[in-house]
Amino acid sequence: MIVDGHNDLVLRSWRELPVWQMDLDAAHEAGFAGGFFALYVPSPSPVEPTTAHYAMPLADPIPTADAARVALELYDTLRSLPVAIATSPGDFQPDRVTAIVHLEGADPLAPDLSDLETWYERGLRSVGLVWSRPNAFAEGVPFRFPSSPDTGRGLTPAGVELVRACNRLGVLVDLSHLNEAGFWDVARISQAPLVATHSNAHALCRSTRNLTDQQLDAIGESGGMVGVNFAVTFLREDGAQAPDETPLAEIVRHVDYIAERIGIDHVGFGSDFDGAVVPTELGGVAGLPKLVDALRDAGYDGAAVAKVTHENWLRVLGETWR
* 74-91: pLDDT as tens digits: 999 999 999 999 999 999
Residues 17-39, mean pLDDT to the nearest whole number: 97
For residue 254, what is the domain's CATH number?
3.20.20.140
Domain of 11?
A: 2-320
Give strand ranges (E) for the chain: 2-7, 32-39, 54-55, 84-85, 98-104, 124-128, 144-145, 172-174, 195-196, 225-228, 267-269
CB 274 within 8 A of CB 285: no
State the pLDDT confidence band at 104, using cuts at 50, 70 and 90.
Answer: very high
Given CA atoms 299, 93, 286, 29 in this order, what sign does their dihedral have? Answer: positive
Exposure b/e, 66-87, CB count within 10 A at least 16 = b:
ebbebbeebbebbeeeebebbb
Answer whether residue 136 shows pLDDT above 80.
yes
Residue percentage of the chain with pLDDT more than 70: 98
Residue 165's φ and ψ, nearest 5 degrees, are: -65, -40
Name the domain count of the chain.
1
At 49 the pLDDT is 63
pTM: 0.97
Residues 208-212, mean pLDDT to the nearest whole number: 98
Amino acid identity, position 18: P
